[in-house]
Structure 1
Amino acid sequence: MAWSRLRTSAARRTILSSNPRHFACSLSRVPCNVGVRVWEIRDLYPRRRIPRTSMKESWEIRRASLHDVDDLASLCKAAVDPEDYVIEHLEDLVLLGVVHVALDDDRIVGMMHYSPTIDGNAWLGAARTHPRYRRRGVASALIQSFVGLAARSRVHALRLWSSASNPTGMASVKASGFREVARFSRVIRPTDKGSPVVPLPFDMDLVRDVADSAILRLCNGYVPYGRYFVALTPANVHLLASAGAFYRVAGGITVVSRHPEEDSEESIEFGLVAGDAAKVLRGIPAAAGRLGARTVASFLPHDPKLLEAARKAGFEIVPWGKEAVLFERSVEVGPTSYRKRRTFAEIAAGKREGYAALGLLAGKHDHGHTGPHEDRWNP
């Protein structure tokens, strides 16, 4: 029975695949007693061509230690240049957070830093990839390792920023599940002499001022704090007020932070919260000077009018932060996992009964041989 005859014979086109002797029904996923025309079986299972670009290499990821500082410095020099600002902070990054590295055999080809934020989330920074290993999924592998760390730590969001002038980095971040939430510009200037300023206490007026702020609407409610960004929700307003971070400046509100690993008199970070932006920007240098700093810096919302007001107030835009894009990714946190493997004491206690079993579980508490209650009855 030739295949060509079956195709041309109208009477035989309705022959079903229930005849295994004629049609050798070798596709186990299609039952032989189902009314499927034989020449249609190929259409049920079309071939799929997987492009090579969709297949990423796998990388070994581990946590870095102080023994890796020299290799990390070499990576930064190759990825950026010998003047990379990260190099002088490598020891602090290792000690004050978690640095993961990607390995090609024993060679470090990528790094990224993870640090907890004051609002219970986490910040990713200091991402570096060796030039010969770019576009090979190194950064994505590092991000995924931190997604796992965040999930285990019950951290609900990861944040980072990337420069708008780096389309490759932007594409990599978006491909890793991050979404853009705001854009900022980095500014800096020396401080001035001024009158004393005091932190604002928490009250409902502060919450209302933050909620009604036109400045925060330019950046979706995010402000710089420390080396990261925080969303000014009512809960975080209370948190930052308790930390003494809010100050009244020129009739407006700012959030102020320092970098504890640096000289406390070197620089102060501020974020615009509420008020007349132009007036607050003119008052910030004097307030920062009164707090003991020599320079004051900020990430301002990337708005032309606001940046012009900053320029008139004496601030300069830092080239590397001309347009910083803030990204955020939600982390799915599962239920808390409890230890399921029994300890050796529990295993041994399972072979005994009564106080003898309880005595094994009591540990080293100087109890008698019959259990943890012996001392009570026999002092």
Structure 2
Amino acid sequence: MKRDIGWIINVFLLASLLLYGYYCLFTPHGMSYVYRNWDGPGYLIVAKTLYNVDLINKINPFPFLAATHYAFQFPGYPLVIRLFSFIGWNESMIFSSQLFALLFSIALYILVKEVIPKANALVVAILSIFYTPRWFIVSHVGSTEPQMMFFITLFMILFHRKKYFWAGLAMGLAQLTKPQGIVFFIGIGLYYLYQMTIARNISLIRSIKEIAPFLFIPLALVSVFTAYYFQYGNFWLFLSNGAFPTMQLPPLKVLVATSIMGFPLGFWTGWLEFVIYNYVLYLGGIVLLFEKKLHFFGVIALIYFCSVLTFVQADMARFILPIMPFVYLGYAELLSQKAVYRTLFLSLPMVFLFAVGYINYNLAPL
């Protein structure tokens, strides 16, 4: 195992060296484009101010964003940035993303090795450094996804080991990182409800014992809202702020949308085809979880997937990332086949070029 983890670390560092080396050595703007990528600058504001309205108004570089906007940025990731800020704010932001991205791939290796022993866990973990291409981008700029996905994968490992308290704590930390953590709590609750009432495979007492630690998830959400009460004076700020403007009924409305968040699509409705590819890719992994009789993981991933179907959002590939660990687990044996992983490794130049193009475009106006 130590040798495999060494390989994961080396490949991860090489990938980062290539991407950052390109910006440092071959572009006039250096790392500034990486630092300026959304939503990194927003998390930096929170890390520097801890939601203090007066401080936000003093240093906020975005006049079009009110101080209350930063309630969308949950505190988990900014607190880690603040912890390592002695190396520089921008540097700490990238270091934090990279640290948790690496930990995610290592955790995924352990998860696959324990749950799907027939799969090549090393190959799956190395592929997780690069795929999906949108993940490769967010893991190399300022973003909260690496931290959340590490905690989700850690939760999966601990649940599989029947360490329910620590699994619940891991999900509580995931909730501190992104608002979507509460959706996982709903999925966990529905799974146990089904097992008690329909399948009748588990007793009420056992269900309560196993599900109780997952109360860390709503408790974490309440703690964030309490912090908002003390800093903004409004416990319900996140919800009253229009927390989910991209969630609209009926599901799949994005496929017939003529505008996204007020911006007309016009000719560019053609890109919606890639939304379908994302849906199919993730749904396939979820179906495979059920085929492998990993029903607990399958239910949680399916509930989150169904919530994503209501999103009217251009960046669907990012919003669906929190269930990527589940999907990797579903596809683990398929990804272990030589024809599949060789094809994906040969496609890596496309991933790097896409990352550069996206990073150069997705810039905050600083």
Q: What is the TM-score normalised by the length of structure 1? A: 0.24
Structure number, greater radius of gyration = 1
Whose strand proportion is higher, 1 or 2?
1
Whose helix proportion is higher, 1 or 2?
2
